[in-house]
Amino acid sequence: MTKRILMLEDGNYFIGDAIGSEKETIGEVVFNTGMTGYQETITDPSYYGQIITFTYPLVGNYGVNRDDFESINPAVKGVVVREAAEYPSNWRNQMTLNEFLKEKGIPGIAGIDTRKLTKLIRKEGTLKGILAAETADKEELLHHLRSVRLPVDQVHEVSSAKAFASPGDGKRVVLVDYGVKSSILRELNKRNCYVTVVPYNTTAEEILAMHPDGVMLSNGPGDPKDVPEALEMIRGIQGKLPLFGICLGHQLFALANGADTFKLKFGHRGANHPVKELATGRVDFTAQNHGYAVEKESLIGTDLKVTHIELNDETVEGLAHKEFQAYTVQYHPEANPGPSDVNYLFDEFMEMMNVKEEGELHA
Tell me, yes or no, whether 163 and 93 share the same domain.
no
Residue in 28, 247, 250, 273 annotated catalytic:
247
Tell me, yes or no, whether 274 and 188 share the same domain.
yes
- Which tens digits make up the pLDDT trace of 179-207? 999 999 999 999 999 999 999 999 999 99
Return the percent helix, strand and coil in the chain, to nearest 5. 25, 30, 40
Q: Which of the listed residues 150, 184, 201 is the one where a domain comes to its end?
A: 150
Instruction: Give me the pLDDT at residue 363, please.
Output: 47
Q: Is there a catalytic annotation at residue 193?
A: no
Q: Give the whole-angstrom CA distance, residue 32 versus residue 237.
A: 34
CATH of the domain at 332: 3.40.50.880
Q: How confident is the model at residue 74 (pLDDT cuts 50, 70, 90)?
A: very high
Domain range enclosing 107: 3-150
Q: Give the whole-angstrom CA distance, residue 363 versus residue 357.
A: 10
Tell me, yes or no, whether 112 and 176 share the same domain.
no
Instruction: State the binding site for L-glutamine.
Output: 46, 220, 222, 248, 251, 289, 291-292
Tell me, yes or no, whether 80 and 17 share the same domain.
yes
Q: Give the whole-angstrom CA distance, residue 178 versus residue 189.
A: 19
Instruction: State which H helix or E strand residue 18 sits in.
Output: strand 13-20
Tell me, yes or no, whether 127 and 224 share the same domain.
no
Instruction: State which H helix or E strand residue 173 sits in.
Output: strand 172-176
Tell me, yes or no, whether 180 and 303 share the same domain.
yes
Angle between helices 229-237 and 248-256 (to 10 degrees): 70
Q: Give the whole-angstrom CA distance, residue 33 versus residue 286.
A: 12
Structural domains in the chain (count) = 2
CB atoms within 10 A of CB 245: 27
Q: Give the whole-angstrom CA distance, residue 8 versus residue 360.
A: 57
Q: Smallest Cα–Cα separation from 47: which of 216, 219, 202?
A: 219
What's the mean pLDDT in 101-110?
Answer: 98
Residue in 156, 268, 290, 332 annotated catalytic:
332
Q: Which of the listed residues 101, 128, 150 is the one where a domain comes to its end?
A: 150
- Which tens digits make up the pLDDT trace of 115-151? 999 999 999 999 999 999 999 999 999 999 999 999 9
CATH of the domain at 131: 3.50.30.20
Q: What phi and psi values does residue 293 have, to the nearest 5 degrees?
A: -145, 165
Contact 82, 108 (CB under 8 A): no
Q: Smallest Cα–Cα separation from 264: which of 291, 289, 225?
A: 291
Q: Smallest Cα–Cα separation from 306: which of 256, 250, 350, 230?
A: 250
Instruction: Give me the pLDDT at residue 131, please.
Output: 98
Tell me, yes or no, whether 166 and 262 share the same domain.
yes
Q: Is there a catalytic annotation at residue 334?
A: yes
Pairing of strands 107-110, 214-217: unpaired
| Torsion-angle region of 28 (φ positive above 0: left; ψ -120 to 50: alpha; else: beta) | beta
Q: How confident is the model at residue 1 (pLDDT cuts 50, 70, 90)?
A: confident
Q: Give the whole-angstrom CA distance, residue 119 versus residue 114.
A: 9
Contact 81, 107 (CB under 8 A): no
Instruction: Give me the pLDDT at residue 359, please.
Output: 67
Tell me, yes or no, whether 339 and 208 share the same domain.
yes
What type of residue sits at position 333?
P
> In the predicted model, what is the mean pLDDT of the chain?
96
Tell me, yes or no, whether 159 and 48 share the same domain.
no
Tell me, yes or no, whether 204 and 282 share the same domain.
yes
pLDDT at 362 over 60: no
Q: Which of the listed residues 121, 150, 179 is the one where a domain comes to its end?
A: 150
Tell me, yes or no, whether 84 and 140 share the same domain.
yes
- Which tens digits make up the pLDDT trace of 36-69? 999 999 999 999 999 999 999 999 999 999 999 9
pLDDT at 353 over 70: yes
Instruction: Give me the pLDDT at residue 184, please.
Output: 98
- Which tens digits make up the pLDDT trace of 258-315? 999 999 999 999 999 999 999 999 999 999 999 999 999 999 999 999 999 999 999 9
Tell me, yes or no, whether 265 and 164 share the same domain.
yes
